[in-house]
Amino acid sequence: MKKSRCLVSTLCATTLVLSSAFGAPSAFAQTQGANLAPASVSPAASEVSETVVKAFAPSGTLRASINLGNPVLASLDPASGKPVGVSVDLAAELARRLGVPLQLVAVRSAGASVDNVNQDKADVGFFAVDPKRGQEISFTKPYVLIEGFYLVRDASPITTNAQVDQAGVTVAVGKDSAYDLFLSRELHHATIVRIPTSPAVVQGFLDQHLDVAAGVKQQLERDAAKAGGLRILDQRFMVIRQAMGVPKAKGADAAAYLAKFVEDMKASGFVAASLERHQIEGAAVAKDND
């Protein structure tokens, strides 16, 4: 079956929905273009089976969950107020290849983004690979690697990662984030204090007089510069493998198509170009063996 295709220069219409994580859903829809670097399109990528399109977009629109709580992946453009970033670019390109409009379902936390997909509020999402999430979601290989770091006060006696996991040490982390899931397994003595969203971690760390804040290095650097009197430990405590994912209920064909799509996006230079365009530092395009 032949389907109409949206051109890169004009892109499919994109509807922006601000989910309940922001308060009430947005009452308006916006159509947005995007200055995306065209990805090389193979015949296999340009001709998508009806089965795959129906699996991804049973409503006729691809709903992509976008986590604005991770600035490496997406943020709100201060000029337009619209989500921008590598995950938005990938969602737009996937919708283009499927030949359907795109709806961005924007949230402020990784946990809310996972809930969007698990609760059928979104068809596809962008997540850190984690065994717990993998029970319901089929992950691709990672497209980006992100580093997780610890932040402390300048006067803190903590200078190394090993000193964090000690009795009496309190660690602030975004609830249900990749850091929360990882540290819940890895920290055996320190106490984890879960903050509602990752962007609020440093403020929660300060307000509650906690010992350590854990999160995306870029977010910690921004918050430390604003607050002053804080420092980031020299060594990362984890590397986050950021991937795309679909509910396992959508079937093997959808999972296989998405896996191939991500590999195409890495190999064509699309992901690297997107990171450069959005001036993202500290994140690397994942390699085949990552």
Position 255 confidence tier, pLDDT thresholds 50, 70, 90: very high
Q: Is residue 67 part of a domain?
A: yes
Instruction: With CA atoms as reference, report the closest residue to 236 among 187, 180, 282.
Output: 282
- Beta-bridged to residue 101, according to DSSP, are none
Give how many domains the chain has, as a whole number: 2
Structural contact between residues 108 and 22, judged by C-beta atoms closer than 8 angstroms: yes
Query: Are 170 and 270 found together in one domain?
Result: no
Query: Are 111 and 245 found together in one domain?
Result: yes
Query: Are 172 and 276 found together in one domain?
Result: no
Query: Quick one: which H or E segment has residue 201?
Result: helix 201-207
Output 157 or 4, whichever has higher pLDDT: 157
Q: Is residue 7 part of a domain?
A: no
Query: Are 20 and 113 found together in one domain?
Result: yes
- Domain range for 275 is 14-144+241-285
- Mean pLDDT, residues 74-78 taken together: 93
Comparing 30-44, 118-132, 171-185, 235-249, the range with the smallest average pLDDT is: 30-44
* Exposed/middle/buried for residue 170 (C-beta within 10 Å: 0-12, 13-18, 19+): middle
Helices (H) and strands (E) in the chain, counts: 9, 14
What span, in angstroms and rounded, lies between the C-alpha atoms of 55 and 123? 9
Q: Is residue 4 part of a domain?
A: no
Query: Are 124 and 105 found together in one domain?
Result: yes
DSSP state, 165?
Answer: S
Spell out a b/e string for 183-221, using b for 16 or more CB atoms within 10 Å of the CB, else e: beeebeebebbbbbbbbbbbebbbeeebbbbbbbbbbbb
Residue 56, SS3? helix
Query: Are 128 and 272 found together in one domain?
Result: yes
Query: Are 24 and 133 found together in one domain?
Result: yes
pLDDT at 30 over 50: no
Query: Are 66 and 136 found together in one domain?
Result: yes
Query: Are 46 and 74 found together in one domain?
Result: yes
Beta-carbon count within 10 A of 109 CB: 24
pLDDT in tens, 126-163: 998 888 887 899 999 999 998 899 999 999 999 999 99
**Full-model pTM:** 0.72
Structural contact between residues 90 and 244, judged by C-beta atoms closer than 8 angstroms: yes
Backbone region of residue 253 per phi and psi (left: phi > 0; alpha: psi in -120 to 50; beta: other values)? alpha
Query: Are 138 and 156 found together in one domain?
Result: no
Q: Is residue 104 part of a domain?
A: yes
Q: Is residue 116 part of a domain?
A: yes
Q: Is residue 248 part of a domain?
A: yes
Query: Are 228 and 271 found together in one domain?
Result: no
The residue written with tokens 């997780």 in the block is 148
For residue 269, what is the domain's CATH number? Answer: 3.40.190.10
pLDDT at 208 over 60: yes
Query: Are 67 and 22 found together in one domain?
Result: yes
